[in-house]
Amino acid sequence: MRVLVLTDLHANWAALEAVLEDAEGKYEQIICCGDLVGYNPDPEPVIEWVRSHCASVIRGNHDKVVAGIEGLDWFNDVAQAAALWTRARLSEDQLAYLRSLPQGPVTLEHFQIWHGSPRDEDEYVTNPREAAPCFAFVQMPLAFFGHTHLQGAFFSKYRRIGTVPPVPGNSDEAVIQLDPDTVFMVNPGSVGQPRDGDSRAAYAIFDSEQNYVALRRTEYPVQRTADRICRAGLPDVLAQRLLAGI
Ligand code: ZN
């Protein structure tokens, strides 16, 4: 089975559309590691698409705040403004859907998913030092997560921790071959607001038969989303961030 793994879509419909076109329907299932909304101008179509297409979805910190499960206090001014803007646009039904999303980790047939870390959905795992203690909580040889918007992977083999870098700028794919002696925590990277210096939308495909994960990047009309951020009355800095991929 091939699984399309998405995370941190952040209401960027153009980026999601480009990812789906790039993946060419070559998957049997779609899963989402949270943060459907926040930052960008298309929360309604992204929520509706995720709701009708994803086999498994967990919540992210932005979903929690927009849905009112958690207060705005931990967000910076820009994230707060975007969360309030988003909340005002969504229907009661869409807010109820966000409220209904489960907290990770969730264990699926071939892997686990969570948003931040396996012990705390709001924790950022950005480097091997932060990743190392997480492996004690991983219950399967493969897991997918998000939250940092940084594409790549951490792995543990015979208690040694290693990293897999994101797809290089001159390529659109990097393949991680899985092996039975190694536990992998893979971050597909953010569909809707990449922060690893590459503005291309990021995602992953897992193939359970060939036993690999393909990290992928694809161009999308980022300027168009940036213009729409400004026109929508969202903070301009969000447009600049999107264009720079930071
Ligand atoms: Zn996020």
179-224 confidence digits (pLDDT tens): 999 999 999 999 999 999 999 999 999 999 999 999 999 999 999 9
Sign (positive/negative) of CA torsion 19, 22, 199, 7? positive
Q: What is the pLDDT of residues 153-173, one digit of tens each?
A: 999 999 899 999 999 999 999
The Å distance, Cα 146 to ligand 1 centre, comes to 7
Contact (CB, 8 A) for 234 and 82? yes
Dist CA 42 CA 90 (whole Å): 10
pLDDT at 159: 84
pLDDT at 126: 97
Q: Which residues of 158-183 are buried (b: 16+ CB within 10 A; e: fewer)?
A: eeebeebebbeeeeeebebebeeebb
**Nearest residue to 38 (alpha-carbon basis) of 58, 17, 62:** 62
Beta-carbon count within 10 A of 14 CB: 19
The Å distance, Cα 158 to ligand 1 centre, comes to 31
The Å distance, Cα 60 to ligand 1 centre, comes to 7
- Mean pLDDT, the chain, rounded, equals 96
pLDDT at 129 over 90: yes
The Å distance, Cα 115 to ligand 1 centre, comes to 8
pLDDT at 161: 96
Show Cβ contacts of residue 164 under 8 Å, excluding neighbours closer than 6 positions: 152, 153, 154, 155, 174, 176, 186, 215
**Nearest residue to 218 (alpha-carbon basis) of 240, 197, 203:** 203
pLDDT at 72: 87
The Å distance, Cα 180 to ligand 1 centre, comes to 30
Q: Which residues of 200-209 are buried (b: 16+ CB within 10 A; e: fewer)?
A: bbbbbbbbbe
The Å distance, Cα 211 to ligand 1 centre, comes to 27
Q: What is the pLDDT of residues 77-94, one digit of tens each?
A: 999 999 999 999 999 999
The Å distance, Cα 101 to ligand 1 centre, comes to 15
The Å distance, Cα 9 to ligand 1 centre, comes to 7
pLDDT at 73: 85
pLDDT at 40: 97
Share of the chain above pLDDT 70, in %: 100
The Å distance, Cα 191 to ligand 1 centre, comes to 10
pLDDT at 74 over 90: no
pLDDT at 233: 93
Instruction: Kindly state the tokens that stand for 187.
Output: 């971050």
pLDDT at 125: 97
The Å distance, Cα 10 to ligand 1 centre, comes to 7
CATH 3.60.21.10 fits 2-244, yes or no: yes
Q: Which residues of 220-237 are buried (b: 16+ CB within 10 A; e: fewer)?
A: bebeebbebbeeeebbee
